[in-house]
Amino acid sequence: MGDMISIPWDALFTLSFYVLVIIYFCYTAVLYYHFNNYSMDDRASTLTYIAFFVVTAPLFAIMALAVSFI
């Protein structure tokens, strides 16, 4: 029988946090590209960016805080 590899929970959550950060940055770049190139209205694009950041920034703050307590 081989040795069991155990991953500590805190490392797993920290890793998940970094993966989410990468996904978030990639998604934001894709979102920006699409609105920058295909939107008809600058105001609608700006409102979309603002709404997206207003909702997601506190969520990242909560996740970062949770990871620091784990």
Partner 1 sequence: MLFDKIALEADEKIITTVRKHWFVIGMEIGIIIVFGLLPVFILLGFLALPPTSLLADAFELRFPYIMFGVAAWLLLSTIAATTAWTHYYLDLWVITDRRIIVIDQVHFFNRKVSNFRLERLQDIKVSVTGIIPTLLNFGTVRAQTASAAESNFTSTGLPAPRELQALIQTAMDARLATLGGMPVMAD
Q: Which two tokens stand for residue 15?
A: 């890793």
Cβ-based nearer residue to partner 1, 3 or 10: 10
Give dist(CA 24, CA 63) in Å, integer.
13
> Using CB under 8 A, which of 16, 18, 25, 46 touches partner 1?
16
Q: 70 and 13 in contact (C-beta within 8 Å)?
A: yes
Residue for token pair 């969520």 = 59
Q: Which residues bind partner 1 (CB under 8 A)?
A: 9, 13, 16-17, 20, 23-24, 27, 30-31, 34-35, 37-40, 42, 44, 48, 52, 55-56, 59-60, 62-63, 65-67, 69-70
